Amino acid sequence: MKKILSIAAAALMVLSGCNGDKLKQAESLNGELNDSLHVALANQDSLLVLLNDITDGMNQIKDMEKILSNTSDLNAESASRKAQLRNDMSAIQKALQERRERLAQLEEKLKKSQSYSGTLQRTVENLKAEIANQEATISTLRNDLAAAKIQVADLTTRVDSLNTTVAAVTEERTLAQEQAIAAENELNTCFYAIGTKKELKEAKIIETGFLRKTKLMQADFQQSYFTTADKRTLTTINTHAKKAKVLTNMPQDSYVIEDVDGIKIIRVTNAREFWSRSNYLVIQVD
């Protein structure tokens, strides 16, 4: 009996002829690794949700900036409308504080996990800077709104200064958004390798032997042998071979192997599920 156990981004063990004790040890190890993987994926999902929330905050602040940058429109606003603006600003400030606390909690979890990379660290720092930037902008807008209620004439002069500040903030925000997009692209990066059994062994991607367990992707495997791709756009992989099989433990219901003119094609039917266990895909061809 042959049972396939997965090791995400570290090791995949194919068990053949193992005794009962070894099977139990392997199952225990697989369970621990699956738990670690689920935690890592949950942390990454939380980071992406936080990215979206902060982007929403940017849009809300931008709308308020438009209102306060036009003196005539601001003067025409009713007392109730200005009160609503103040309430909206307070709500945004509260949301920013909550996001700051969520980010601190997420950073603590990431630091304790094995998935905390340099890219994730830079992403966390960028999000901290963006939250601080938004808090400073809201504070400025609250002051401008208060001044408009007391002395409208003085607001005209300060709008010029506000416009200069907005331009600087916009530039910083654009940079932060670009860095956030780069980080999101990094989170969606995947890798795949196609080769014969001999080629995969030479690249140290698999290790086999007579009556010995097959090991996949040991510490010294050749990263350069893998092709880099994007999980969001990689839907089909042409193996250019008549026979092909997936060695990594991708969920079987997330892909199909099709025959097109005698050539095997790997077609991903559920990308999220397909890459849920590992960012690496190994395909053996004959």
What was the pLDDT predicted at 1? 37
| Stretch (H or E) spanning 63 | helix 20-69
3-state secondary structure of 218: coil
What torsion, rounded to 10 degrees, do the Cα atoms 159, 160, 165, 170 define?
Answer: 90
Q: At residue 255, what are phi and psi to the nearest 5 degrees?
A: -155, 165
Residue 197 identity? K
Asked whether the beta carbons of 92 and 53 are under 8 A apart, the reply is: no
| Stretch (H or E) spanning 247 | none
Per-residue pLDDT in tens (0 to 9) along the chain, 286 residues: 333 334 333 334 444 444 455 555 545 544 444 444 455 556 666 667 776 777 776 677 777 666 666 645 555 556 677 777 777 778 777 888 888 888 888 778 777 766 667 777 787 788 888 888 888 887 887 777 776 654 444 444 565 666 777 677 777 888 888 888 888 888 899 999 999 999 999 998 988 766 556 677 766 788 899 999 999 999 999 999 999 999 999 999 999 999 999 999 999 999 999 999 989 999 999 8
Structure tokens at 68: 């306060």
Residue 201 and residue 124: Cα distance in Å, rounded? 38
State the pTM of this model: 0.42
The C-alpha R_g of the chain, in whole angstroms, comes to 27
Residue 164 and residue 173: Cα distance in Å, rounded? 14
Structure tokens at 160: 């010029």
What was the pLDDT predicted at 116? 64
Is the sign of the CA dihedral 13, 116, 34, 44 positive or negative? negative
Question: By CB neighbour count within 10 A (0-12 exposed, 13-18 middle, 19+ buried), where does 220 fall?
Answer: exposed
Angle at which helices 152-187 and 20-69 pack, to 10 degrees? 160
Asked whether the beta carbons of 90 and 139 are under 8 A apart, the reply is: no
Structure tokens at 66: 């438009």
Tell the residue number behind the tokens 């059994």, with chain if given: 197
